[in-house]
Amino acid sequence: MDNTFSSFNPISRTLMGPGPSDVDPRILTALAKPTIGHLDPQFIELMDQVKQLLQYAFKTENALTMPISAPGSAGMEACFANLVEPNDKVIVCQNGVFGGRMAQNVIRCGGELILIEDEWGKPTDINKLADALKTHPDAKIVAFVHAETSTGVKNDAKALCALAKQYGCLTLVDAVTSLAGVELRVDEWQIDAIYSGTQKCLSCVPGLSPVSFSPAAIDKIKARKTPVQSWFLDMQLVMEYWGEGAKRAYHHTAPVNSIYALHEALVNLHNEGLEASWLRHQRCHEQLKNGLQSMGLSLVVEQDFRLPQLNTVYIPDGVDDAKVRSCLLNEFNLEIGAGLGVLAGKVWRIGLMGYGCNERNVDYCLNSLQAALDK
């Protein structure tokens, strides 16, 4: 093997899959700024701004709102590891891949899993949750995915949380793909624990997971009888570095430059306006939907619970899934997503997330897909 090495220079792509999404060049520039210490007073100031901006993005006043120094999956673990104690009954609503991961988390934390399943491509049936809550009045937590990236379904977070609250449960929500892409109101909807990711509608680099915990969630964490198994994700320890009025005690070395990038992404979101960002995702979705339909392609998910930022489209009969995707990648530098789980080989997933969610990209995607299909 040749053992001369040189810098890595990837061909740039247009990322229209399930994530990562296209990163705004301004965010890449922010990433290249000089690294400073993670306890430098300048960095502490930046941390405070990041917390405030995340509160804006989540629509919450929760003091414990911060990025976990690892990707969305770590935010998921942080929520479950901190809130689930051995033998706690946890209801998980599953209608895709990520709900399945939530269920795994419950089991690994020693919780008692009550699983409600709905068909992939359909939303969680609230009547099933009502039945489960009646059957299990001792349930402590209700968990579900707001934007199920594996299918393109939006679950009714507001209604599911309102119901869970009637039964005195804490609510735990996956907002990895929903944050900044569709309406999400943490305080108004009574969400107690929520996690997201930087690489979807925030169009930042992958590798951070914004989370937020309500005062009720913090009470449950503080009342734990057993310590959180994960040292790294134990929020009581993390709070001493990130928390309000914290000592800023060393816990781990924050990914300093990635936090610059997240700050820039959130400044961009704040400048555009959260509601304007939701609307832009909806507008581009309409444009994509019309284009796909006029090509004779059909969407998997019904309009009422369709995610604008993740469009699942049936692969037409006789078309080779892998061939089309590799043609798009190799000839058009365009990445779209394959189907997952039961939808593998049956659908494509077209993401319209964050910076990449614009009219020009929708046109580019439609034209490239048409060209690939014509071959």
End-to-end CA distance of the chain: 37
SS3 140: coil
Q: Does the footprint of ligand PLP cover residue 339 (CB under 6 A)? A: no
**φ, ψ of residue 97 in degrees (nearest 5):** -60, -45
- Number of residue whose CB is nearest ligand PLP: 72
Distance CA 332, CA 253 (A): 39
User: Which residues from 123-182 bind ligand PLP, rule CB under 6 A?
Assistant: 145, 147, 149, 174, 176-177
- Contact status: 255 vs ligand PLP (CB under 6 A): no
179-218 positions binding ligand PLP, by CB under 6 A: 197, 199, 206
φ/ψ of residue 203, rounded to 5: 40, 45
> Is residue 232 at the binding interface for ligand PLP, with CB under 6 A as the rule?
no
Residue holding tokens 């061939």?
323
Cα 232 off chain centre by:
21
Position among 56, 73, 257, 305 found at the interface with ligand PLP (CB under 6 A)? 73
Q: Give the nearer residue to ligand PLP in terms of CB position, either 141 or 366.
A: 141
Contact between 335 and ligand PLP by CB under 6 A: the answer reads: no
Among 17, 67, 71, 243, binds ligand PLP (CB under 6 A): 71
CB of 199 to ligand PLP, least distance (A): 6
Residue 242 interacts with ligand PLP (CB under 6 A)?
A: no
Looking at the Cβ atoms of 76 and 228, the one nearer to ligand PLP is 76
In this complex, which beta carbon is closest to ligand PLP, that of residue 65 or of residue 149? 149
Beta strands in the chain (DSSP E): 14-16, 64-68, 89-94, 112-117, 141-145, 147-148, 153-154, 170-174, 193-195, 209-213, 310-314, 334-338, 347-351
DSSP symbols for 45-101? HHHHHHHHHHHHHHT---SEEEEESS-HHHHHHHHHHHHPPTT-EEEEEESSHHHHH
Q: Which of 43, 98, 242, 355 binds ligand PLP (CB under 6 A)?
A: 98
Closest CA to 195 of 182, 179, 183: 179
* Smaller CB separation from ligand PLP, 199 or 277: 199
Contact window for ligand PLP (CB under 6 A) among 65-73, 254-262, 329-337, 354-362: 65-73
Output the smallest distance, CB 114 to ligand PLP, in A: 20
- What is the C-alpha to C-alpha distance for residues 350 and 312, in angstroms, rounded to an integer? 6
Residues making contact with ligand PLP (CB under 6 A): 19, 71-73, 98, 145, 147, 149, 174, 176-177, 197, 199, 206
